[in-house]
Amino acid sequence: MRKLLYLTFSMALIAVLTTYAMWAADRPVGHYLSDLRINLAIDQGTPADRGNLLGIQPELFPTDYQSPQRLHRKLAAYLQKAQEQGLLNEKTIVVLPEHIGTWLMVTGEKDELYQASTLKEAMNWLAVSNPVQFVRALISAKGESRFDDAHLRMKAKGMAKDYQALFGGLAKEFHVTLVAGTIVLPEPSVIDGTLKIGRGALYNSSVVFGRDGLPIGQPQRQMHPVFDATEVLGANEDHTLNVVDTPAGRLGVLIGSDSWYPDNYRKLDDQGAKFVAVPAFVVGRGTWDQPWRGYKGLSTPGSVSLKPGDISEGQAWHRLTLTSQPPSSQAVAGMSVFLRGQFWDQGSAGQSFLSNNGQQFADGNARGARLLNLWL
């Protein structure tokens, strides 16, 4: 009798595991009609032979990441619209927003993930659908929030490959220099022209791709992640700020709240940066108009007199971004571009703006995908 029960239990367990394995391996691709429209919100300056900064503020949703091909279709449609309006040339620098590459973590997943009602539920589906990858990532996870670390780390190798293929491909396809927003990866580096990952801490990083589709220099790691992310992301305060050569001139990248630190602009000045790109992201619908929460767990620079609650989040971004405001910054122009859309229950805020010769020009309408252009 005991042998029969053991045999029955074993067969049932094998059936359950086989069914689970088949379910986890199944990745049906559903139909999704994405909104490919984008409006030109700001067009400053006069066309010349010096090139231009072109910011793309996309409106993205989880289903846009169902495959890299689907995301390419949407971003290529935005660039095609810019090309039709005469905004692309051999000296164009395209700037994309923060974390546009991070969400590649959900590509190729099951419909249940995209249909989840909350981010937490979606991440649970991510783990359940990739049990072996998740367990391996959890074993090597670091920081205070090991589960969040594992969710980001478990598909990092594929994410890095997709990121370079997608954004490097767009740069080559449209013959532009492209600041490819950011992506969270473990110790990213460029080796022999290929974006690689390491085994250490996760860093929010940005890669600039040249007109040939290849990375220019090393990834720029975020130096001061906001407190919401410090349990997962590494702070790279001692990392060198990279300035790269582009056909339009020398370019520096400050990720998100890194643009709030006056010393970072001095470091870019020392390297001769003419332009500053700021990929950015503000979570929470309506946050832009709510009271500013300060440096969010980080020390406030001595030269900054703003206090939390004195002004709104949006006003703080405008006040603290110092591009082209001598003597704080000798760069002639810059652009802050925000990721917009809805990722499960996580809304987004942020209205992209540009700086030119000490003046700021903002897009007052946050709805829909937007183009911001500055002729240099």
Token pair for 99: 């974390």
> Is this structure's pTM higher than 0.85?
yes
Token pair for 209: 């791709």
Count other C-beta atoms under 10 Å from residue 74's C-beta: 19
Q: How far apart are CA 298 and CA 28, in angstroms?
A: 44
Nearest residue to 55 (alpha-carbon basis) of 210, 178, 187, 190: 178
pLDDT in tens, the chain (376 residues): 555 455 454 444 444 344 444 444 554 555 556 789 999 999 999 998 999 999 999 999 999 999 999 999 999 999 999 999 999 999 999 999 999 999 999 999 999 999 999 999 999 999 999 999 999 989 988 877 888 899 999 999 999 999 999 999 999 999 999 999 999 999 999 999 999 999 988 999 999 999 999 999 999 999 888 645 545 676 666 667 999 999 999 999 999 999 999 999 999 999 999 999 999 999 988 899 999 988 875 677 878 888 888 899 999 999 999 887 888 899 999 999 999 999 999 989 999 999 998 889 998 766 789 999 999 9
In CATH, the architecture of 36-103+167-375 is 4-Layer Sandwich (3.60)
Instruction: Kindly state the greatest CA–CA separation across the chain.
Output: 88
Residues in contact with 325: Cβ distance below 8 Å, sequence separation at least 6, in sequence order? 355, 358
Contact in structure between 265 and 343 (CB atoms under 8 Å)? no
Q: How far apart are the first and last CA of the chain?
A: 84
Contact in structure between 340 and 103 (CB atoms under 8 Å)? no
Contact in structure between 185 and 197 (CB atoms under 8 Å)? yes
| DSSP SS3 for 252 | strand
Ordered by start, the domain boundaries in the chain are 36-103+167-375
Count other C-beta atoms under 10 Å from residue 69's C-beta: 10
pLDDT at 9: 46
Token pair for 71: 């995301």
pLDDT at 230: 47
pLDDT at 105: 96
pLDDT at 163: 98
pLDDT at 364: 75
Token pair for 176: 């532009």
